[in-house]
Structure 1
Amino acid sequence: MAFHVVLLLLLLLLIHLAAAANAGGGSSGCIGAIFDDTSIAGKEEKLAMEMAIEDFVATASSSSPATARVELCTVSSNGGDPVRAASAALSLINDKGARALVGLHSWQDAAFVAEIGRRAMVPVLSFAAAAPSPATPFLLRVARANHARTMRAVAAVVASWKWRRVAVLYDDDDVIADLADALRAVGSEVERPIAVSSSSGGDAMRRSLADLVAGQCRVFVVHTSAKLAAAVFAEAAEMGMMDAGYVWIVTDAIADAVDSVNGDVISSMQGVIGVRNYNPVDTNSGKTKRLIARFRRRFRSQYPGAGDDDEEKTSGPHYPALLAYDTIVAVASAMEKINATTTTTTPRSPESGETAAAIKIAVSSKGNELMREIKNVNFHGVSGEFKFVKDSEFSPPERFQLINVAAPRYTELGFWSPEHGFCKNAAADIAGGGGCEATMRVLGPVSWPGKPWNVPRGWEPAKGNPFTVAVPEKAVFPDFVRVTRRRDDGGGGDGGEARFEGFSIEVFRAAVEHLPYHLDYKFVSFNVTYDSLMEHDHMKSYDILVGDTSISSGRYKFVEFSQPYTESGLVMVVPYKADLWNRSWIFLRPFSLSMWLVVIAVGLYNGIAIWLMERRYNSEYRNGGIWKHATTVFWLSFTTLLSPGERLRSSLSRVSMVIWLLVVIVLTTNYTASLSSLLTVQRLEEAVTAESLRASGSMVGCTNGSVVGKYLREVLLFPEHRIQRFSSDDDYRRAIVSGEVKAAFLRVSHAKLLLAKYCNELMITGPVYHVAGLGFVFPKGSPLLADISQAILEVFENGTIKRLETAMLSAYNCTAATVDAGDLYRLCPENYWGLFLMTLFASTASLTVYGVFFHHGNACGSGGEGGCYRKHGDGRKDSAMVDPGGGGAGAGHGDEALSSTSGSADHVVDTEIVVISMEMECELSACRHQQK
């Protein structure tokens, strides 16, 4: 603001000094041209405007003699100084009678000259990319510039290389908001805007650049005039800011002037990326070809040695010169149309607060008409379409061209448009975007400052040192992070070279490999707790913390976390206890004890009933001692559970057996279904939950220094005195297995590792509590955070983290001892060893008893006279052992024969035959035995 006030005072002083000048001016209409004769671009523009007025007069003089009176009045601004530009404008208006002013590439110059034009009612056509704010009614900007679109193009370049922060050097603060919005849309931001001015001395500019070097950001966007940019790059080259690691991006005002700046400026801008408006020139047009050839001849004649040293002819005219040519043609055409070539001026009325002497300036009587006609100009010139659109803005560019400054001048990289992104050539963009991409990488390699082909990362440590990566010296789970030291001398102590290993270390290394730039870092171990490092130090001593660090909202108050690199969640680990005895006798569990007693009682009752009913018809049920009768009853009672058993002869016993078989079918069916369900859903342990542990007052465990303890207190509501903290994985195993704690709460990743080591002693049970996983820690505002987080996502998606986790867990070959849930209740012999033991015991006991007590009592094999029967006193043998209703011919009517007591002759004969037959068989058997 102070700078503007000073310039305004100088302007009023110039107006006061020019008050005595002749207000009438010259004798003909004049177009005033203000140019910078200290640059090649200014010289090209001057020659192009001279040729334009010559061509216009030569073409139109035959049809309109008045046109011959249009002249070009040129004045140099001597380096583009605003005060000199304002003085030149006053001279052109008052001394030369200029009816329009053309030129001025900086908005500071245009701001002062526009004020003079407003007072004199003289249109001012400026080539400045930015118009002064607020704009005056007599100012027209002849520049294909759209700041919002230009900043979007710059943001697209920044996003292509994933730079997150940008510093801006500017002389027009109107662009800062547009650039900030464009960068925010691609995930970046303006870190530090620094204003520079041509009026600032070298010391001030050096201090501004030193402030940039002191920060971490190394991506600089320069939005100034070409002349000011040349001074910036010259100073930056001396300070070493054009070396490797720096990125410089310039906007259209500078990129357009690269064609015409001298070799010293080009040498100080090596590696700069320029974003400029793409203004296609039809070089195939005959008129354009003739103009270019004539221009080059005259330029070499007027300015010998000003062209390229390695060419016989200059490479101009460049686009600014062609635009200047068309601008003069447009103004001359408008003047001809309204006949503004005559000298008609009127005194200017004083404004409030001004003296009469300070306002004596020639005022054009046709200024408003001329301004209106210039806005309505529309033709196709040598620079392309020349017209003004809404709000008196010059037609904006449809696309932008990207250049890369490199010896001897620059390389054309490609093009960018909002619709199609980056394209290698303009034809692809115009045709519909075929071959275009959203990233600048499609344009090929870029020559960067200092080191041609390595993409700068966009930031550096404040002191240029490698990033320090903090690693805990002692971790609870060493498989995640471990620090070991090599002892060359074989002695003890902590000396020696440190080695950093573990799952977390490998994930970090994999993420660094996916960064789009090389990251120089070094590991440094520490011996304090995580919370001490984060909450007390705020990570000021380190750039990154790599370890099994839990992400929590409380820690976010002090530091920032990367994307989690492990599975999220909190689980409960309990001891693994398989009760083998209960599993062996699981076949008894489908029925309760009372049910088994009922089954046994009913079975015995039915056995006794059938025995009593069958005893009348079966001599085997009548003879023998108590042991024989008991075994017979037991046999009848329980063989029916598997089969109908003995063949029954009594109708009543058959009815009872049918009912019992029906009951047995129902019992066995329900037993089978119950046993199947039990084997499917049974668990080895009763369900353990946080609520049951809290209600029973049990001790629980967690990791020492972890945020899990806070979660147990505040969320699961465990009292502090019931929470025990552990510092090693072996402490966890010992406490859980011994019952010191009933359960331990761990992150999913830690629980997986614990079970991989002790899978036959520990198990996971209960729900998964939703908490964040493990991540890397960064200090607030770290430029590494976004890049590392994106790299972690990439290694997640390509399976690298999964492979690293599998390798860590498979190091403990505990899979052989792991019991699969499906194997716990599978029907195998070991599940029924109780049944087998009882069967073997019963068989062995029966054989032993038979061998000891009954083998020598065999009636038919003893050789005695008794044989198989017992004799009566009359010498007859007892036939009670004969089963009249049994096998043989009489089996079919045994009931009737045995029930009859009439003593009929036929029945007696039949009985005697049977008795004699059996006696003969017994004697024969006894004789054979004696022979043996």
Structure 2
Amino acid sequence: MHISFCCFLSLLGLGLFISISIIAATNEGIIIGGIVDNTTRIGKEERVAMEMALEDFNTNYKGNQSLILHVKNSSNKFPLQAALAAMDLINREGAEVILGLQTWEETSLVAEIGSQNHIPILSFSDLIPSWAKQNWPFLVATFPNQYAQAKAIASMVQSYEWHQVTVIYEDMDSSASKVISDLSHAFKQGGIETILVAIPPLDVVSLSKEIGRLKRDPCRVFVVHLSFPMALHLFEKAKMMNMMRKGYVWISTTSFSNLVHSINASTISSWMQGIIGVRSYLLTNDSKFHDFHIRFRKRFSLEHPEESNHEPGFYAVQAYNAVQIVAQAMRGKKMGGSILLEKILDGNFDGLTGKLHFINQGVAPANTFQIINMIGRSYRELGFWVDRLGFSETVDSHGNFSNSMKDLGQVFWPGGPINTPKGWDVSTNGKPLRFGVPARSIFNKYVKIQYDPDKNQTSITGLAIELFETVVEQLPFHLTYDLFPFNGTYDDLVKQIYLKNFDGVVGDVGIIANRYQYAEFTQPYTEPGLVMIVPLRSKTGNKTWLFLRPFTKAMWFLIGIINIYNGFVVWLIERNHCSELNGSALNQTGSLLWLSFSTFLSFHGERPRSNLSRMAMAVWLFVALVLTQIYTANLASILTVQGLEPTVTNIESLQSSNAKVGHTQASFVKSYLVNVLRFSPTNMKNYTSAADIANDLRNRVIAAVFFEVPAAKLFLAMYCKGFTMAGPTYKVGGYGFVFPKGSPLLPLVTEALLNVSESGKLRELEQSMLASQNCTQVDLEDDISSLSPSSFWALFLLTGSMSTVALLIYVSYGKPQQKSGPLLAEKVNWLTMWAVMLRSWSSNSRLVKLFSAKELSSNVGSPPIV
């Protein structure tokens, strides 16, 4: 309110000085007070309707007392006049109840007076906040709550897929904010961005300035919530500024639409073609209303010949119903104060358009509104909107309801009815849109900025730029735009949209939650995620001992044991026939070891004289041949196919080792590493060059670097032979294009981007970008397993058994005797066969020479040693 409580007390005191006692109603009638503004169309309609209502009641009711209506004039420009008129009606006229008061300023003043004097106040204002009824218990709202109107308008906007609206309202007081709050809430639930433009009351100059500014903005959907005189000024000014043409959408609330019947035909045809209005619903097909309509037009034309249109509107019906409510509550006996208030609030009355009842000191909220369209010299009724049901051409229970206003038929839009307006205009004043691009991209494959000093031109290329150009070609209209490099952080670049320095951003901009406070993003055009890149290392580890890799430790141990054992057996059998195997204990030990390991590869000494040692050595050399061939093959495989593995496999090992990690400087990755992955800021390093990152990874300056997935793919395409992804992929947004919040372009560009992606064009661009690096990704190989004794136990059992048999025979029979005969020849032939087989397996093996056929044949004629 714009008046203090002290002012109220002064007014009340003035009323007491004017009249000390209230003049009671006489037997001639009960006084009903009315306060209207006779200078406005609303006030004129209300006065005529109130007089008609009281006359109808007195005519139809045959009682002892009649009701008398005393109407005082007020002015919306001076609310104090309404307060003085109310005190005069109470103190001088003896009014038992007061009706009228079109504005909230008037209502707030008179409600205080009524509550002090226990006089019910029935206000016609549509801007009464809920808290007012608690402060003033004698205040009753007769205008239905209009919250559903906000939902109706939001449904209209959603029907045509407009994503942004500008609400123009008169900034009068806190009560007006309730309507704006309802509209904002309804739009938010529908995903519609709201721009609020407040106009000072009756300030035509400010209105003209705001209209000029709004013309320069791209939004073309306007919701007008102004008083009737201000709305007329607005539409006149909009027409003068060429804003009542094709592409614009104007939607008026009930504050204007409820009075369109009073506008002369020339004004409608000149200024208001194509306006859509939401109007309070009236049941006009009832016989009672039809009779009222005829009588009202006749009476109104006689009392107000200056008005060009004599139709009754919603305010006339509201005033008629209010008088009927009071009259029916007073019927039968004289009453006032709390009793009368209780009768009013608890009653169920017959109104001009049906039953009326009150909820929480107010008429039941309206849930039905009429949709009208200004066309030609008047308007036409498109249909209705019913809360929880939607749009329909009728309001009866058999109507076909729809969620879309499009089902009501063709709307006549400003500039012509052919095409539905887009709701925005990017070519305002013929200027192309300004899009910022990041100049600090670490990979110029997404955004590459080159300046030619000779031509004084800057060229901007890259995958993001080419993709945006392809997307723009998919739009159903021509979009003109310019690209401007921005040499700052990505967060600052997005913030430029909020500051209105750019109309959008094109580039490798990550979709991050905290950036949504400044702008909105399209769908990501890259794979989302944050990954870790680490160097690759050989799986062979230390190459100094690489020669031992073909066999396991157990295998080498067993080879050594079986060699010593076989050498011992041969040495023991041959020492009596070879002087080199005798001598001191040290000499014999050395001979034993030399014989064990040298015989594994070759035997240069004197050939065995004993058949027992020959038998043991034949099997021993066969096993040695197999082992050497397998060793050679496995070692060659290890050297030829070298396995690779990442140096780090998880972030836990990085954190536990206190290793340094890298990240790109112009990104959000640093905050994610600190706040989410809990890395210490002292262990992180910023980079602005991919080459520096690669060098520091190779030199172990940093143990790992963190990239967004698209950047990681590019880095690996550039340096794939030394690095790989490791660890999990952390869920973060990919790259997207950026637009202002609620931008009408956003859904259209997102749809076009999806079309480009589904057509395969985006994949082609990505593959072309990665292939241009001319580097093939290195695949990690599985480790090559070392061979264990489990694969050779049969060979070791064979050679060990044969040596053991020879040893047992030698020990059991002592010094051998010379023998000859068929058995000896058979043994010699058997050994000859083994030698031939060994020679065929490896012609280069010098071991087989010990058992060649020539050497064995020379011993056939001489007695062998057993």
Distance 1:23 1:370 in 2: 18
Deviations, residues 168-209 of structure 1 (Å, cap 9, x unaligned): 423342242564376356377876563633xx4544655676
Q: Cα deviation per residue 1:16-55 (whole Å; 9 max; x = unaligned)?
A: 9987999799965555555555565555545544443444
Q: Give per-residue Cα distances to partners, 1:692-711, cap 9 Å, x unaligned.
A: 88999999765465566788
**Residue number among 317, 325, 333 corresponding to 1:330 in the alignment:** 325
Structure 2 equivalent of residue 506 of structure 1: 467
Question: Counterpart in 1 of 2:533?
Answer: 572
Q: Provide the rounded CA distance (Å) in 1 between the counterparts of 2:301 and 2:402.
A: 40
Q: Is the 8 Å Cα contact of residues 688 and 765 (structure 1) preserved in structure 2?
A: no
Distance across 2 between alignment mates of 1:790 and 1:841: 81
Describe the SS at the equivalent of 2:767. helix
CA pair 709-75 structure 1, distance change in 2 beyond 3 A:
closer
1:384 alignment partner, one of 348, 354, 357: 354
Alpha-carbon distance in structure 2 between the residues aligned to 1:276 and 1:282: 13
- Name which of 394, 397, 403 aligns with 2:366: 397
SS in 2 for 1:320: helix
Cα distance, 1:739–1:800 mapped onto 2, change above 3 Å: farther
Matched, 1:592 2:552: yes
**2:436 pairs with 1:470:** yes
- Judging changes above 3 Å, is the alpha-carbon distance between structure 1 residues 734 and 844 closer, same or farther for their aligned structure 2 residues? farther
Partner Cα distance (2:206, 2:845) in 1: 116
**Counterpart code for 1:477:** F
Alignment of 1:265-280 (within 5 A): 266=268, 268-270=271-273, 272-279=275-282
In the other structure, the counterpart of 1:361 is none
Cross-structure match for 1:480: 446
Q: Indicate the residue corresponding to 2:620 in structure 1.
A: 637
- 2:766 counterpart of 1:808: yes
Counterpart in the other structure of 2:126: 129
Shift in Å, 1:575: 4.8
Aligned mates of 2:302, 2:167 — CA distance in 1: 45
Say which one has the larger Rg: 1
- Mapped partners of 1:719, 1:509: distance in 2: 43
Write the distance in 2 (CA, Å) between the matches of 1:698 and 1:843.
58
The within-5 A match list for 1:786-865 is 804=762, 807-813=765-771, 817-818=776-777, 820-821=779-780, 846=843
Alignment of 1:470-869 (within 5 A): 470-473=436-439, 475-483=441-449, 493-496=454-457, 498-503=459-464, 506=467, 510=471, 521-526=481-486, 541-549=501-509, 562=521, 565=524, 566=526, 567-575=528-536, 589=549, 591-592=551-552, 595-596=555-556, 598-599=558-559, 601-602=561-562, 605=565, 626=607, 633=616, 635-637=618-620, 639=622, 684-685=644-645, 687-688=647-648, 703=664, 716=679, 725=687, 727=689, 729=690, 744-759=705-720, 761-768=721-728, 770=730, 772=732, 783=741, 804=762, 807-813=765-771, 817-818=776-777, 820-821=779-780, 846=843
With over 3 angstroms needed to count, the CA separation of the structure-2 counterparts of 1:203 and 1:819, relative to structure 1, is closer
Q: Report the equivalent of 2:579.
A: none
Are the counterparts in 2 of residues 29 and 98 from structure 1 also a CA contact under 8 Å?
Answer: yes
Question: Is the Cα contact below 8 Å between 1:319 and 1:383 reproduced in 2?
Answer: no
SS of the counterpart of 1:751? helix
Provide closer, same or farther for how the CA distance between residues 802 and 45 of structure 1 changes in structure 2, counting only shifts above 3 A.
same
Describe how 1:11-160 pairs up with structure 2 within 5 A: 28-29=29-30, 31=32, 35=36, 42-61=43-62, 64=63, 66=64, 69-70=66-67, 82=79, 100-111=97-108, 123-131=120-128, 133=132, 136=136, 139-146=139-146, 148-151=147-150
Instruction: Judge conservation of contact 1:180–1:189 (CA < 8 Å) in 2.
Output: no
- How far is 1:752 from its partner? 0.9
Q: Which residue of 1 aligns with 2:586?
A: none
Equivalent position SS for 1:330: helix
- The answer for the alignment partner of 1:661 in structure 2 is none
Paired with 2:730 and 2:284, the residues of 1 have a C-alpha distance of: 66
* Aligned-residue offset at 1:107: 2.8
* Counterpart residue identity of residue 127, structure 1: F
Q: Contact between 1:504 and 1:546, CA under 8 Å: does it hold in 2? A: yes
Matches within 5 A, 1:199-210: 200=202, 202-203=204-205, 206=208
Conservation of the 8 A alpha-carbon contact between 1:699 and 1:724: no
* Aligned residues of 2:498 and 2:519 also touching (Cα < 8 A): no
SS of the counterpart of 2:258? helix
Q: Which residue of 2 aligns with 1:423?
A: 391
In the alignment, the residues of structure 2 paired with residue 141 and residue 611 of structure 1 have an alpha-carbon distance, to the nearest angstrom, of 124
Change (3 A) 1:335 1:82: same
Say which SS state the counterpart of residue 529 (structure 2) adopts: coil
User: Residue by residue, what CA displacement relative to the aligned partner does 1:122-172 show, whole Å, maximum 9, x if unpaired?
Assistant: 6543322134847655543321225x5555555666777433875642334
CA RMSD of aligned residues (A): 6.4
C-alpha displacement of 1:602: 1.6
User: CA, structure 1 residues 528+240, in 2 after alignment: closer, same or farther (shift >3 Å)?
Assistant: same
**How far did 1:808 drift?**
0.9
TM-score by length of 1: 0.62
**CA distance in 1 between partners of 2:838 and 2:381 (Å):** 98
Alpha-carbon separation, structure 1, partners of 2:644 and 2:569: 44
Instruction: Give TM-score, length-normalised by structure 2.
Output: 0.65
Quote the residue 2:255 is aligned against: 253
Aligned to 2:200: 196
Q: Aligned partners of 2:244, 2:9: CA distance in 1, in Å?
A: 39
Q: C-alpha separation between the residues in 1 aligned to 2:82 and 2:779?
A: 90
How far is 1:574 from its partner?
Answer: 2.2
Distance 1:803 1:731 in 2: 33
TM superposition shift of 1:576: 7.1
Cα deviation for residue 337 of structure 1 reads 1.9
Task: Identify unmatched segments of 5+ residues in structure 1.
Answer: 309-313, 341-365, 614-623, 644-663, 665-670, 828-839, 861-865, 871-877, 882-898, 900-932
* Deviation (angstroms), 1:7: 9.6
Distance 1:18 1:254, change over 3 A: farther
Please report how far the alpha carbon of residue 820 of structure 1 lies from its aligned counterpart in structure 2 after TM superposition. 4.4
- Of stretches 23-32 and 287-296 in structure 1, the one that deviates more from structure 2 is 23-32
| Matched ranges for 1:180-191 at <5 A | 180=181, 183=184, 186=189
Identity of aligned residues (%): 29
* Distance in 1 of aligned mates of 2:681 and 2:98: 83
SS at 2:533's partner residue?
A: strand
Amino acid at match of 2:102: H
Q: Which runs of 5+ in 2 are unaligned?
A: 574-604, 787-836
- Provide the secondary structure at the position in 1 that maps to 2:140: strand
SS at match of 1:329: helix
More deviation, 73-82/804-813: 73-82
CA shift, 1:546, in A, is 3.1
Q: Provide closer, same or farther for how the CA distance between residues 201 and 578 of structure 1 changes in structure 2, counting only shifts above 3 A.
A: closer
Q: What is the alpha-carbon distance in structure 1 between the residues aligned to residue 74 and residue 855 of structure 2?
A: 146
Query: Matches of 1:169 and 1:598 in 2, distance apart?
Result: 99
